[in-house]
Amino acid sequence: MRQLLLNMVVLTIAFLLVDPVSAQTPKASSDQDVTGTWTFEAEGYVMPLTLKVDGTRLSGTLQLTHGPMPITGEFKKGRIHFSGTQDGGGIRHDANSNEIDLAAIGKLQPDGSLAGTMVSTVGDFTWHATRKQSP
């Protein structure tokens, strides 16, 4: 009986010491800084993306075919969200405006890439971004 009680105490302590979040997600995912240059792909489009993280605040630029789109958002615990607006280069995307608006969510993948979904005035897409290697 004493051994059973000792085993239960040891198992309880071991259970309390294991962080369930880090046991399910690689530690590097939530701690990795996504600051840098990325290749952003969405439904056949390939665009440069630059990101900068300050604390959890995210800023950057997504280079669209009609020019740069400043983005702002947040990167926290391996999750990312950002949004931006661009004038669309004079091309009308609906009856009232040529602006391109987008909002994206995603998360850091185990391989270090980013992936998620976005909604925009030109359509809804899944996206994937890979970090560009430094020369």
pLDDT in tens, 34-60: 999 999 999 999 999 999 999 999 999
Global pTM? 0.70
Which residues, other chains included, contact 104 with Cβ-Cβ below 8 Å and sequence gap of 6+? Answer: 73, 80, 81, 82, 83, 116, 117, 118, 127
Please check whether residue 40 lies inside any domain of the structure.
yes
Q: How many residues are present in the chain? A: 135
Q: How many domains does the chain have?
A: 1
Name the residue range of residue 40's domain. Answer: 26-131
CATH code where residue 75 lies = 2.40.128.120
Please check whether residue 18 lies inside any domain of the structure.
no
pLDDT in tens, 86-120: 986 554 445 555 788 999 999 999 999 999 999 99
Please check whether residue 96 lies inside any domain of the structure.
yes
Please check whether residue 6 lies inside any domain of the structure.
no
Please check whether residue 94 lies inside any domain of the structure.
yes
Please check whether residue 93 lies inside any domain of the structure.
yes
| Cβ 39 vs Cβ 55: under 8 Å | no
Please check whether residue 95 lies inside any domain of the structure.
yes
